[in-house]
Structure 1
Amino acid sequence: MSKANYLVIDASTEACSVALQYQGNITSLYELCPQSHSLRLLPMIDELLKNAACSLDELDGIIYGQGPGSFTGVRIGIGVTQGLAFSAELPVVGVSTLQAMAQQALTTYGETRVISAIDARMSEVYTGYYEADDNNIMQPKTAERVLPPATVKQHYIDTVSLDMNNLPYGVGTGWEAYKADLEQLKHNEGEPELLFPHAQAMLIIGAVAFSQNKGGEAENAQPVYVRDTVSWKKLPGK
């Protein structure tokens, strides 16, 4: 991995996660804190930097979770990224939430074929299929989509010729939320071990992107929602 110094920020799901690569060492903090990202993210970053005796101007860039995931969480993470990057004049790189989870599966369990599925609410899942390349980076083999769970199987049969006799590994909250529709599409049984993305996995992907000169200016940090519109359904009697 690159010897450059990077800060990683992710608040795209129920998890709040930060990581730091500084002077060849990697440290990280991870918390499950639904609806508390705006309160926890900056203190976590501050703690990480202080413990490493690292200042923002010593960094070479910031890597951020671009989504898909919680609309509010993604915006919080990108807002913090932009604020820090502007103040220290740092380039930024966005990393997909779904790709990061696939990368975790490769790093932790050696899984080279992964379907990520995150509960997108409104009876839908955010999903993507990934395979490891020659550099051990999980690469998307389909566009990331938001789909009704009942259509996911046919989607992967059509797009990647999913072999039901040689199933990939599954990560994310979608598998348990929509078990009846999705369980048959992964080889690991039950609720996945990996439910949320971790900043350390984003570091691996983001560092490669920086090495390929893909860093951009802070003002260009943008969320990837996948779902273009949100419709709210009133409950009966409301």
Structure 2
Amino acid sequence: MSIILNIETATKNCSVSIAKNGDVLASKELNNGNYSHAEKLHPFIQDVLNEASISIDEIDAVAVSKGPGSYTGLRIGVSATKGLCFSFDVPLIAIDTLKSLSMNANIDEGLIVPMIDARRMEVYSAIYDKNYNQVREIRAEIIDENSFEELLTDNKVYFLGDGSEKCKNIITHRNAIFIDEKFPSAKEMALLSFEKHKKNDIEDVAYFEPFYLKDFVAIPEKKKFK
């Protein structure tokens, strides 16, 4: 038996689930357009444990969405996960954020392109086939009218995630299909973390770091003029 706590904070969705052998027993999430992870994450963890009638010392592992995504969001999720793993001496499992996002697309043919907003016209994206096998590496890329043109010529391509919203008016090929209102969630992490746990595919808790893809760049505060 495998009881895993899953934590997703890579985007504006603050999401937690508790799963047994890959089946979600309870979940809670909030995506209100703001980054509420610092306030909501720990209460959400307690809520899902209570709903599933599971004590924190019964969990066998903690899984965290490793990125790419929001620098601050990832730091909060990974810090909470490390604290739990150290405190209860359980392994840490890292889940690719774009892989779990791709699992929101249930398709019979074509390709899946999950996208996470990286500001302006840039997104973090990867490409997966209908069986969620990765067929192109993760990239930070600026979207224009020629993006994914070679794929779209011969395939239906399903775009999803908060990064895809700003691409609808730019990628207008007839084979481009946009799946609305999908975002990385701890619910989609459940099966992925279970499979990794079975293989003992775990991280070094002390040295694990999120996958930022790009260096953090602080935005200077605007000067106030009287």
TM norm structure 2? 0.86
Q: Which protein has the bigger strand share?
A: 2
The 1:4–1:26 alpha-carbon spacing in structure 2 relative to 1, beyond 3 Å, is same
Q: Which residue of 1 aligns with 2:17?
A: 19
Q: Which protein has the bigger helix share?
A: 1
The 1:233–1:42 alpha-carbon spacing in structure 2 relative to 1, beyond 3 Å, is closer
Letter in 1 for 2:70: S
Instruction: Please show how residues 157-168 of structure 1 align to structure 2 within 5 Å.
Output: 157=150, 162-168=151-157
The 1:130–1:236 alpha-carbon spacing in structure 2 relative to 1, beyond 3 Å, is farther
| SS of residue in 2 equivalent to 1:75 | helix
Q: Which residue of 1 aligns with 2:129?
A: 131
Task: State the superposition RMSD in angstroms.
Answer: 2.7
Q: Which residue of 1 aligns with 2:141?
A: 147
Letter in 1 for 2:31: L
Q: CA deviation at 1:111?
A: 6.6
| SS of residue in 2 equivalent to 1:8 | strand
The 1:188–1:122 alpha-carbon spacing in structure 2 relative to 1, beyond 3 Å, is closer
Q: CA deviation at 1:180?
A: 3.2
| SS of residue in 2 equivalent to 1:188 | strand
Separation of aligned partners in 2, 1:202 and 1:196? 12
Q: Which residue of 2 aligns with 1:95?
A: 95
Identity score, percent: 28
Q: Which residue of 2 aligns with 1:31?
A: 30
Partners of 2:145 and 2:171 within 8 A in 1: no
Q: Which runs of 5+ in 2 are unaligned?
A: none
Q: Which runs of 5+ in 1 are unaligned?
A: none
The 1:111–1:212 alpha-carbon spacing in structure 2 relative to 1, beyond 3 Å, is farther
Q: Which residue of 2 aligns with 1:223?
A: 210
| SS of residue in 2 equivalent to 1:129 | strand
Is residue 115 of structure 1 aligned with residue 147 of structure 2? no
| SS of residue in 1 equivalent to 2:211 | coil
Q: CA deviation at 1:221?
A: 3.0
Partners of 1:117 and 1:174 within 8 A in 2: yes
